[in-house]
Chains A and B, each alone.
Chain A
């Protein structure tokens, strides 16, 4: 039962990835920009441009190019960058650690800020703090990350000298970009935590506990909270899409040498193999995150069976 569920889920995942490859391949290759001309430079002769075009296989029909891309992809070959001639795989792998570090930092902030606020809101349901926290959550979700990042930089790095102005390396460098990314997610987690805890607080066993005379706060903190937190944490997987989007912007603001920065640099010079590589990698993470959430959720809530 469980095995069958996993296999069908993996198959579905593979299909989704294939869809992403197909759509992004045709979108990036159908655009009017001419990569051969961009590589050759403005002063190159028509002959040089033509040479580059045939070298890269860009003179072939698009469907043939697509088929070749798929074949190589199956062998784990993502092609080479148009500009630097480096393998895309090498570039991605060299940037991956920085992005993983940033995302993990962001998740820590999301949970650290979101979960306690959500608990507080649920405990104060309908009262001032509940309403204040829910408005705060909307502010977090609605904050433009690039402006937030710049303002945090101005305050904490420039004015108060607490953190470096950007760059990568120590935990000191990580705090501000991770916080910038984490704030919008924190709003999301606060809302989820609140509604999850409210659900549990209305459950029969909590009412029984209170009726038995255990004391409301004891029931909530010893029994209800654990059951309410687990499903929320299992949702981290779903959050990865949101994180991966923000990474492009935040890495650009903080000069963070990760996948997002690589993608942004590639986009500016229409380096299609790198764009494809970053899109595929992030899509892979998103799909993996969803899969993880689907698998973890029933563990957190045993009433849900795999079906």
Chain B
């Protein structure tokens, strides 16, 4: 409870967010996607795995959007809308797990380096230098291709390449916080390092974590979609947005809706998390409001 109470003035954050139409748009779409993912079985008009006989033309081609299949069907005659609705689950799940892990690793290493400084900071920050030089996407593709991709592997691989940014920001912030008077005061009162870090520093890092947690999900959603598109993401028959495009890639000239709709779903989700994250950043840090 103290954690939340010490986050600077929440009502004003919400007010500033509400005045920002782009951020509100992001928030609404994000909530919608979450609801769609949660209630997928209720919302999907058809079974996403069922191959409908009437879902293909007589020549065996997928159907374009029509009355029966609102967004058309895929190469196997499955309902695209239902597959997209279920695909939201994978996107969000991987997004949350991967980004949660990245946030955890990044915050832990960044705050340790910032608080203790010295050799520990040198080692950790040099390590982030190396990670920054890594071609992240290439590394993620190679890892998940070689490691027999599953939802967890994909999430962990993404976390592995995404924690660096968080670590750098948290490091810089902890560095200045560690110098501040309330830390000196806590220290003088005899508080141990662990207590200072968790009770006094952590609450100040929460806004940053919230912002990067939100922005990071957008990166994660894109990365997961890219891995699935290359066929090294979450494996079929589980429907994922990138995977749907991968399956229909060779047919996209005759069935462009199979690329357009899942592509739009990815774009809309990624944009919304970005807009919301940016809005949060402005709301939480008035200095940035420009």
Instruction: List residues of chain A with CB under 8 Å of any chain B CB.
Output: 12, 15-17, 19-20, 23-24, 27-28, 31-33, 131, 134-135, 138-139, 141-148, 150-151, 153-154, 158, 195, 198, 241, 244-246, 248-249, 252, 263-264, 267-268, 270, 275, 278-279, 282-283, 286-287, 290
Contacts and interface: CB of A to CB of B under 8 A. Distances in A.
8 contacts: A19-B126, A33-B146, A146-B229, A147-B266, A150-B249, A154-B259, A158-B253, A246-B137
Given A144-B263, A147-B263, A158-B253, A279 B134 contact: yes
B136 interface: yes
Nearest to A143: B267
A135 B146 CA distance: 37
A134 B278 CA distance: 11
B133 A154 contact: no
Given A139-B271, A142-B218, A148 B138 contact: no
A147 B229 CA distance: 9
B222 to A, nearest CB: 6
Given A144-B267, A252-B230, A279-B142, A135 B275 contact: yes
Contact of B270 (A33, A142, A267, A286): A142
B147 interface: yes
A28 to B, nearest CB: 7
B140 to A, nearest CB: 9
Given A142-B274, A147-B263, A150-B259, A279 B218 contact: no
Interface of B: 22, 126-127, 129-130, 132-139, 141-143, 145-148, 218, 222, 225-226, 229-230, 232, 242, 245, 249, 252-253, 256, 259-260, 262-263, 266-267, 270-271, 274-275, 278, 290
Contact of B274 (A141, A248, A282): A141
Contacts of A27: 139, 142-143
Contacts of B271: 138-139, 142
Contact of B245 (A12, A20, A33, A147): A147
- Chain B at the A interface: SS class: helix
Contacts of A147: 225, 229, 245, 259-260, 262-263, 266-267
A264 B230 contact: yes
Nearest to A270: B146
Given A31-B146, A138-B274, A142-B267, A264 B135 contact: no
Contacts of A135: 22, 275
Contacts of A249: 137, 226, 229-230
Nearest to B136: A245
A245 B252 contact: no
Contact of B138 (A31, A146, A195, A278): A278
Contact of A151 (B137, B143, B148, B259): B259
Given A150-B245, A154-B259, A267-B141, A245 B130 contact: no
B24 to A, nearest CB: 12
A167 B106 CA distance: 41
B230 A275 contact: no
A263 B138 contact: yes
Query: Which of A143, A144, A158 is packed against the most chain B CB atoms within 10 Å?
Result: A144
Given A15-B126, A147-B259, A264 B267 contact: no
Contacts of A141: 274
B138 A16 contact: no
Contacts of B226: 144-146, 249
Contacts of B262: 147
A131 B134 CA distance: 34
Contact of B260 (A15, A151, A195, A283): A151
A279 B138 contact: yes
Contacts of A23: 130, 134
Given A16-B129, A263-B138, A279-B138, 4 more contacts: A138-B275, A248-B137, A279-B134, A279-B135
Contacts of B278: 138
A12 B260 CA distance: 45
A169 B153 CA distance: 38
A279 B130 CA distance: 13
Nearest to B25: A135
Contacts of A198: 290
Nearest to A266: B142
A151 B222 contact: no
Contacts of A20: 130, 133-134
A254 B222 CA distance: 19
A144 B270 contact: yes
A286 B263 contact: no
A37 to B, nearest CB: 14
Contacts of A275: 142
Contacts of A142: 218, 222, 267, 270-271, 274
A92 to B, nearest CB: 14
A287 B126 CA distance: 13
Nearest to A285: B135
Given A23-B130, A147-B259, A150-B252, A283 B135 contact: yes
Contact of A24 (B127, B139, B263, B275): B139
A72 B270 CA distance: 43
Contact of A144 (B139, B147, B249, B266): B266
